[in-house]
Chain A
Amino acid sequence: MSALTLRLLGNGMLSTALNGIFASTKATIAFVVCLILVFAAIFAPWLAPQNPYDLMQIDFFDARLPPLSKSMSGMTYWLGTDTQGRDMLSAMLYGLRTSLGVGLLAGFLALAVGSALGLLAAYARGRLDALIMRIVDLMLGFPTILIALLILAILGQGTWKVILALVLVQWAYFARAARGAALVEVNKDYVEAARCLGLGWGRILFSHLLPNCLPPLMVIGTIQIANAIATEATLSFLGIGLPITEPSLGLLISNGYQVLLAGLYWISVFPGLLLLTLVFSINIVGDRLREVFNPRLAA
């Protein structure tokens, strides 16, 4: 296992990526922002002034207070409170946690499933390849939101159903990228050598092919994570995403929508800015990685 990890992290890929990011001011700032947000998400329970989901801590009478108001207990609601009296800052931190968590999980699962299928298709060639790619093309022909919508309409709500829908929507991108990279690698000598050594195809795929196909997957992975986060937020906003017990930023914004016309801007603006910052930063890093690893490719 450790040998594989070393090989995955090796090839200088990680250092190329990091060097590429730090060579661009824009990307460096975005990367740092991402790190800050991840940190905030992980340590949300300690950073948040209040646990917004502990009913004991919420004062309903403090509902709809604008930013910088104070509560009875002297705590400052830096970003105001929402319609239930929850501190916006805390709700946002917890929401960030959920959004990021779901996005990363869905992204990695899609990466795993998609890449496995893509590698398989490239290695097996023939009918299996054709079948997998047909399905991939079919799925890529439809917009993300539509497929997610329809899957959730059939399956109903729930956190794992949302993650499943996201994975189903995104695996195809990874499959295509993995297959493309693998097709180039599969003709190289080391694969033939591994075959001659009598290594099983699973071993060849994952220990030998995969590490060399990682760069494009890294690029797509970054962008797809941003996509997953944005799509989940959209679904939650529409009311068919995560349940209220696990509110993500999308749900917070949705709550804010209802009071927007009344002028209570902070309930939707702040979570939205946070979501925007998150997605935007990840996309900038992803775009930079794309430039670093595929200089010819654009858009």
Chain B
Amino acid sequence: MTAFVIRRLLQALAVLFVTSVIVFAGVYAIGDPLEILLPADATMAEREQVTRSLGLDKPLIVQYGLFLWNALHGDLGTSFVYNQPSISIILQRLPATLELAFSALFLSIIIGIPLGLWSGLRRGTTVDETIMTGSILGFSLPNFWQGMMLIMIFSVYLGWLPSTGRGQTGTIFGVETSFATWDGIRHLILPAVNLSLAKIALVIRLTRAGVQETMPLDFIKFARARGLSSRRIVLVHVLKNILIPIITVIGVEFGSLIAFAVVTETIFSWPGVGKLIIDSIRVLDRPIVVAYILVVVTMFITINLIVDILYSILDPRIRSKAQ
């Protein structure tokens, strides 16, 4: 088990290393780092200072070393716009994005799995057809347009929910979150729905496929032969079997939720890391972009690692083999 974890850890570190090289190459070797890391109106003195601290007059290898060293110490440059270390700005905004991503994940599970089960068990019927076509619609709807339509319907015409921004936050278990206040939840609903729609469609299809693969298997027939109720068969035998691959996919998809938050946050003016990156790209605040890339990639790799380990824990066959 430990050997397995260590191996995966090393793999993850390798990917991280490769990414850092790519980012480094993109910023330092291809572009002009002074261009990228300094605002256009920097003085000669500032340029010289940056040149020295980044070692831009030294060979590339040394530069990379300095880059890594700085990165590991949390120094990923200073934002032009905010005049603070970019890493701290990113970390400030991250909780809002995570909150959005978790809500979307939650919605996709509680809506997606039941619908997928229903669809899979009623294969070939109208219900199945409808749900499947609905799922195609779900991932065909352009994310941003769908968000706009949600605002239009629920905010402008019906006036039920606020259109933009994050609501009041409170603290639950020491974590600042929108779930603590009703106002916060009201502001969270539309963006979370918007972000989750494509994921719901994905979960529906995954669950349905899983059900279709599992139902004809022998142990289901044996379960029926023992007189178990259909409810038990579906909820325990089928579900437990398909849950494991579904959880792993969902776990990996969590990373893409964080990425797609970019669109949702832009539309709903949600103060997360996604809106930050779009704004930063627009105003060419490149230190933020660099910091964002590294933070997000690290998160991705960590998520993949955790999901891998989780998978091996959940599937008893792999667990024993690893032991």
Contacts and interface: CB of A to CB of B under 8 A. Distances in A.
Direct contact of A and B (CB under 8 A): yes
A90 interface: no
Contacts of A143: 255-256, 259-260
Nearest to A233: B142
Main secondary structure of the interface of A (DSSP, over half): helix
Contacts of A154: 26, 30-31
B110 interface: no
A263 interface: yes
Nearest to B296: A146
Contacts of A142: 255, 259, 297, 300
A272 B142 contact: yes
Contacts of A276: 140-142, 145
A153 B145 contact: no
B152 A237 contact: no
B136 interface: yes
A167 B144 CA distance: 22
A284 B209 CA distance: 17
A287 B106 CA distance: 27
Contact of B152 (A152, A260, A275): A260
B284 to A, nearest CB: 9
Contact of B140 (A146, A230, A257, A298): A230
Given A238-B263, A283-B139, A299-B206, A263 B255 contact: no
B127 interface: no
A298 B148 contact: no
Interface residues on B, range: 35 or more
B137 A280 contact: yes
A272 B263 contact: no
Interface in A248-288: 250, 253, 256-257, 260-261, 263, 265, 268-269, 272, 275-276, 279-280, 283-284, 287
Contacts of B282: 239-240
B263 A299 contact: no
Which among A150, A263, A268 has the highest number of chain B CB atoms within 10 Å? A150
A272 B141 CA distance: 9
A73 to B, nearest CB: 31
A298 B266 contact: no
A24 B300 CA distance: 40
B245 to A, nearest CB: 11
A284 B133 contact: yes
A263 B140 contact: no
A158 to B, nearest CB: 14
B136 A284 contact: yes
A294 to B, nearest CB: 12
B259 A146 contact: yes
Interface string A213-241: 00000000000001000100110011110
A149 interface: yes
Interface string A137-156: 01001110110011011100
Contact of A279 (B142, B149, B163, B202): B142
A70 interface: no
A230 B142 contact: yes
Contact of B145 (A150, A226, A272, A287): A272
A141 B259 CA distance: 12
B212 A298 contact: yes
Contact of A275 (B136, B142, B212, B262): B142
Interface of B: 15, 18, 26, 30-31, 129, 133, 136-137, 139-145, 148-149, 151-152, 155-156, 163, 202, 205-206, 208-209, 212, 252, 255-256, 259-260, 262-263, 266-267, 277-278, 281-282, 286, 289, 293, 296-297, 300, 304
Given A145-B260, A234-B142, A240-B278, 13 more contacts: A141-B252, A149-B259, A149-B281, A150-B293, A153-B281, A153-B286, A154-B30, A154-B31, A256-B148, A260-B152, A265-B152, A269-B152, A280-B136
14 contacts: A141-B304, A143-B255, A143-B256, A143-B259, A145-B256, A150-B293, A238-B262, A239-B278, A253-B142, A276-B140, A279-B140, A280-B137, A280-B141, A298-B205
Interface of A: 26, 138, 141-143, 145-146, 149-150, 152-154, 226, 230, 233-234, 237-240, 250, 253, 256-257, 260-261, 263, 265, 268-269, 272, 275-276, 279-280, 283-284, 287, 298-299
- Rank and list the top 4 A-B pairs by shortest CB-CB distance, nearest first: A299-B205, A143-B256, A298-B209, A272-B145
